[in-house]
Structure 1
């Protein structure tokens, strides 16, 4: 059990990279999704060394910067930063244990100030992927576009459904550009099962991320994520759909929740493992009856 479980560092948001790695090792979690802002304080080389020493796999690097700005200095700076993020992903991947994934998470970005044209903003996402894809391919990194809940369309991501994400990545090689299935962002969508099946047919499932949707919803919707089993999401059905695509990578638990952030890191990781073993892992098995 738990062999495919990965701690996304967002779940222990206040932990240093060293603290997150230590918590995984203590609890027996074998993989971690690293955040760039946890790498920055110690530097990339030191982060790579610590990841190597931990013996953990890398499941992702989070994240690329937003790419929806219109052409101009802001957009050029974002593209340049994402080239650096690709190189960081490759460096950490090279340091991590066998079975790791060289994947850079991409969150599209918001509407530009005063903008109303969602189609144009989404087009700029596609164009940005086009600028980054060849570098990612050469570096052995897969770009993974993550759709976010539609409540974030104006200020965080103009890509709200898995179907939209698949349309945007379609022009690019599946080996280099994929999509993320995140239960928190997608559980509400009546088209989700069909879109997951499409993602499987097209070879686009790059990552599966899990957390629950809790109510009452806090004033900051970003903090409405809960530990699996504490909310309303049908993990068995979604996980079966993802498993049916042939996805065999690590499953990241990514939770933004103040109460969880305020809890001891090892306790959070231990509970995460217990809930994963009960609510996720059984439905990933091909022999599940």
Structure 2
């Protein structure tokens, strides 16, 4: 199977497209996989979305997102766990076995990074059996350290693997997202360890462009526009034994302002170029 045949478009890359329009464009352009997000799926209707992608013959390569486990207040943590169980159910309904988890940042007023990570571990202990019963894997996504305070206290693949290690690899693994890990000189060895343990549950691409835009969260560059050596990262993940779909997930205001189908076409073209 060639890299291009494994291309999956993450819904966020072309969020200006409605779900029906995205599905139609994928079918017309021969894109076989989509990574979906919970909010637009809910807006369209979960069962309707599942029927739409199923009848189109598309593979739902992941659902984003669960997580945000770091609240200190017991009532807030209970709400978060209920939402994560709902996310697992949604993934199962959509036919994907991969739920992406973003751990959550520091609670307001807290500076206890270690405590926040411990609460992530406790949440995984609670959620993993439920996800396993629904046939859904939990994929922990480390985010770049600039997001540690407000979005994700898991910043490296090593940290994600430590959190995953108490659980079977078939149930808890990691996301390798180039945007978040390209800078880390320990990441290649972590990719190899993750692959050897069967814990690479998703592989995502986005480029790092400078200068960073004012809204850093929405600054993921189109493939080939920035600093990341995608061929190298592809080789690392392949050598680790990963043979699954490869999602392109771009948060980019300029792309969102353009024609969604044209963005999808360009992304597929860039994907083939950078992994050639």
What is residue 26 of structure 2 aligned with on the other side?
A: 24
RMSD (Å) for aligned C-alpha atoms = 1.0
Task: Determine if the alignment matches structure 1 residue 197 to structure 2 residue 192.
Answer: yes
What is residue 145 of structure 2 aligned with on the other side?
A: 150
The answer as to whether partners of 2:219 and 2:253 remain within 8 angstroms in 1 is no
The answer as to whether partners of 2:105 and 2:149 remain within 8 angstroms in 1 is yes
Task: Determine if the alignment matches structure 1 residue 271 to structure 2 residue 266.
Answer: yes
Shift of 1:42: 2.0
Which residue, out of 245, 248, 252, partners 2:247?
Answer: 252
Which residue, out of 43, 46, 50, partners 1:44?
Answer: 46
Shift of 1:71: 4.3
Shift of 1:27: 1.4
How far, CA to CA, are the matches of 2:180 and 2:139 in structure 1?
15
How far, CA to CA, are the matches of 2:210 and 2:177 in structure 1?
18
Query: Deviation digits for residues 102-126 of structure 1, max 9, x if unmatched?
Result: 1000000010111111111001111
Task: Determine if the alignment matches structure 1 residue 6 to structure 2 residue 8.
Answer: yes
Task: Determine if the alignment matches structure 1 residue 67 to structure 2 residue 69.
Answer: yes
Q: TM-score, normalised by structure 2?
A: 0.97
What is residue 166 of structure 1 aligned with on the other side?
A: 161
Shift of 1:195: 0.9
Shift of 1:219: 1.1
How far, CA to CA, are the matches of 2:159 and 2:139 in structure 1?
13
How far, CA to CA, are the matches of 1:203 and 1:40 in structure 2?
31
> Where has structure 1 moved over 6 Å in runs of 4 or more?
none
Structure 1: any 5+ residue segments left out of the alignment? 94-100, 283-289
Structure 2: any 5+ residue segments left out of the alignment? none
What is residue 33 of structure 1 aligned with on the other side?
A: 35
Shift of 1:275: 1.0
How far, CA to CA, are the matches of 2:230 and 2:47 in structure 1?
37
